[in-house]
Amino acid sequence: MTAARFITLEGGEGVGKSTQLRRLVERLRERGLEVVETREPGGSPGAEAIRRLLLEGADERWTPEAEALLFAAARADHVARTIRPALARGAWVLCDRFLDSSLAYQGGAGGLGVEAIRSLHAVGSRGFLPHRTLLLELGAADAARRLSVRDAGGSDRIGGRGDDYHADVAAAFSALAEAEPDRFRRIDAQGDVDQVTERLLGAIKDLL
């Protein structure tokens, strides 16, 4: 019997995380696994309430420190109410964003530093980490083209930040992957969606 696993998909705006998460969930369910599909911020009733606070409104609605605290609070509830119980019963959990997004966005691009974000995570979620993190990577120009198609209704307050901010996010993700090669797998998000899904499956083959 395959052991329960917690897998996260990470990356900047427009790399295709949400689409690929759904496809990966389907492929794993075809193998007979119970798979819980979830997201951050969100994934539990309390965390979904905080999600609305985080993603709606003007960019200056929260200070960087307040934003980081809200993400940590949402994550603490998500881990306690959704992720840990699912793993305890033997399910796989696939999550669209987790701690590494906070490290890259608030810690890196937001200037708070990764150690400050890790300290919040140590308190809120007791340092809980995924078994595997799949980092989808795509060039800035290609990501922008995807976003122009996807976001006809407008971006949220974080996704709508400037190009320099998102370049800093990409650099922070790259540094995180280099620092933890045992947990991270870097995935080329360029090309046909089926090809990308196959790359993702290959990156977790050893866990199946």
Residue 139 resides in a domain: yes
Write the CA distances from 132 to 12, 94, 135, integer angstroms. 18, 10, 10
Of 78, 76, 91, 178, which is closest to residue 135 (Cα–Cα)? 178
Residue 1 resides in a domain: no
pTM reported for the whole predicted model: 0.92
C-alpha distance across the termini of the chain, in Å: 9
Q: What is the per-residue pLDDT across 162-201, written as a single tens digit (0 to 9) for each?
A: 888 989 999 999 999 999 999 999 999 999 999 999 999 9
Residue 9 pLDDT > 80, yes or no? yes
> Quick count: other Cβ atoms within 10 Å of Cβ 118?
14
Residue 160 resides in a domain: yes
Using 50, 70 and 90 to split pLDDT, how confident is the model at 141?
A: low
Could you tell me if 136 and 15 are in contact, meaning their C-beta atoms sit under 8 angstroms apart?
yes
pLDDT, position 196? 97
Residue 165 lies in domain: 6-207
Residue 93 resides in a domain: yes
Q: Domain tally for the chain? A: 1
Q: What is the CATH number of the domain that holds 161?
A: 3.40.50.300
Residue 189 resides in a domain: yes
Rounded Cα–Cα distance for residues 62 and 3 (Å): 40
Residue 119 resides in a domain: yes
Residue 201 resides in a domain: yes
